[in-house]
Amino acid sequence: MKLVLATRNLGKVRELGEMLSDQRKVEILSLRDFSDAPQIVEDGETYQENARKKATQIAEHTGYLTLGDDSGLEVDALNGAPGVHSARYAGENASDAQRIEKLLDALKDVPDDQRTARFKCAIAIAEPEGQSKVVVGVCEGKIIRESRGVHGFGYDPVFVPAGYDQTFAELGDEVKNRISHRAKALRMASKVLFNG
């Protein structure tokens, strides 16, 4: 079975590919395998809308079962920001470091016990014929005051998941791929994909 990951983000392709690696009957493709794939505008108001839009449009384009995801970081002290705008929080072409810098600056006066946050991930699975299903995974945690660690991507260096003392970027892929928002959503999505 071929499964297209509706992303060009190498970090996501690697992470999702590793999480799906025990499914030997699945051939994982990404948008890098389809140079003519359309750019999907993520203009939904929720992660679910964006994930479904990516999955359905790419499934229609490629003719293959497609997994689309959208995720973001919600910080309580910022009324849920950056939220659905996490990737564009510091501007359209900002780097991970620039997004983290903006986030830490926005939180500089927030006490440590009020820096609660969560990562959310919506995963949509779409068939070329148009049917789709969406699941959502959540990972609670907090935002620390400076970046730590070298693994992962995005806001991983400043997010410490609940029950841990290290950031996602310090914990590494093995732990992150077990406890993250994306891992939780993917476990639910796998049940849909593989009837398991």
70: annotated active-site residue: yes
C-alpha separations of 103 from 90, 137, 192 in Å: 9, 22, 35
> What is the distance between the alpha carbons of residues 56 and 13, in angstroms, rounded to a whole number?
18
From the list 22, 70, 96, 112, the catalytic residue is 70
**CA count, 13 A, side-chain hemisphere, 124:** 26
DSSP string covering 54-77: HHHHHHHHHSSEEEEEEEEEEEGG
User: Which residue type does 127 have?
Assistant: E
Measured in whole angstroms, the distance separating CA 75 from the mean position of its chain's CA atoms is: 16
Active site residues: 70
